Amino acid sequence: MSDALGTRVIDTSVLRLTPASLLGSRRRGLRLVEHNVVLYRRAWIYLVTGFFEPFFYLLSIGLGLGHLVGSLHLGGRTVLYTSYVAPGLLASAAMNGAIIDATFQTFFKLKITKLYDSVLATPMSVADVTVGELTWTLMRSGLYSGAFLVVMAAMGYVLSPWVILCYPAAILIGFAFSAIGMAATSYMRSWQDFDRVSLAIIPLFLFSATFYPLSVYPVWLEWVVRCTPLYQGVALLRALDAGTFSWSLLGHASYLAAMGAVGLRITARRFAQLLLP
């Protein structure tokens, strides 16, 4: 919107995402979730293929590399290498499920099809769009995480009954990457900008202690890894799977929650700037 002098003014109501407003936006945002469900009914193959990357990694490690590496120490116990890697791949599955729709699909709807402009012609608001799309990305992340947990259990790679807590923790990982991914996408101007997404995701996948303990890294790289978002998820899920609890888990969870909250706020602000007249 604009003031009397023609200066653009942002509707700050979209930035006040209180619990009450989030609940209302979630209800209205379910219309966007319904749109995505209908869309993927005809393109379901694209929905499920993202799950297979971490699954194939787990399968190949279990059948091949795991026999070469042997066992590792985790939480005062000796575990098979595959059981050590599995929670890290679960964190990657949660990230992948969230980031696909939060980046590529959001950009397509925002810049190419102009779907959100049409949505805002209805009684829905920018906050409804933000929360609706975030809900859908969390659903996809939850689908990947849940399926991966079932595979872990079926292959005997879980370490304790506390593994059940890995699912809500995986949803938290999905929330963090969904929100920050949507925020980053709002600044992208063309498809070429998505090279930066791969530039961020691939190193995170390979260097977040997913496959190796932190002790194998040089000291300087170890501290860099400790600051990365996927490492927080990997460390959190690995400890929950092993049933080893400490105050550090609260730090990992707080990092991911703060990352998601900041990303959600930036997304709301940027969507308001881009979509409101």
Q: State how far the Cα of 16 lies from the Cα of 274, in Å rounded to an integer.
A: 18
Domain count, the chain: 1
7 within domain boundaries: no
Per the structure block, which two tokens stand in for 189?
């101007």
pLDDT at residue 35 in the model:
78
Range of the domain at 207: 12-275
SS3 string of 156-212?
CCCCCHHHHHHHHHHHHHHHHHHHHHHHHHCCCCCHHHHHHHHHHHHHHHHCCCCCC
Tokens encoding 17: 């995402």
Residue 178 makes CB contacts below 8 A (sequence gap 6+) with: 98, 99, 101, 102, 134, 137, 138, 141, 260, 263
Q: What burial letters (b/e) apply to 134-143, b meaning 16+ CB within 10 Å?
A: bbbbbbbbbb
Amino acid occupying residue 62? G
- Rounded-to-5 percentages of helix, strand, coil across the chain: 75, 5, 20
In-domain check, residue 33: yes
DSSP string of 8-57, one letter each residue: B---GGGG---HHHHHHHHHHHHHHHHHHHHHHHS-HHHHHHHHHHHHHH
- Is residue 129 within 8 Å of residue 276, measured between CB atoms? no
Residue 156: φ, ψ to 5°: 75, 30
Which of 234, 231, 271, 277 has its CA nearest to residue 134? 271
| Series of mean pLDDT values for 10-residue runs along the chain (277 residues) | 43 50 60 79 71 76 72 78 90 90 88 86 84 89 90 89 94 95 91 85 89 87 93 95 91 96 91 84
- Domain assignment present for residue 1? The answer is no
Does 167 reside within a domain?
yes
Decide if 22 is inside a domain.
yes
Phi/psi at 245 (nearest 5 deg)? Answer: -110, 140
The answer to whether residue 21 sits within a structural domain is yes
| Residue 3: inside a domain | no
Q: Establish if 36 belongs to a structural domain.
A: yes
243 burial class (0-12, 13-18, 19+ CB within 10 angstroms)?
Answer: middle
The predicted model scores a pTM of 0.86
- The residue whose two tokens read 């400790």 is 226
Q: How much is the pLDDT for 12?
A: 47
8 Å CB contact between 161 and 189: no
The Cα–Cα gap between 210 and 178 comes to 20
Task: Report which DSSP code applies to 73.
Answer: E
Residue indicated by tokens 């706020």: 265
Contact of 152 with 158, CB cutoff 8 Å: yes
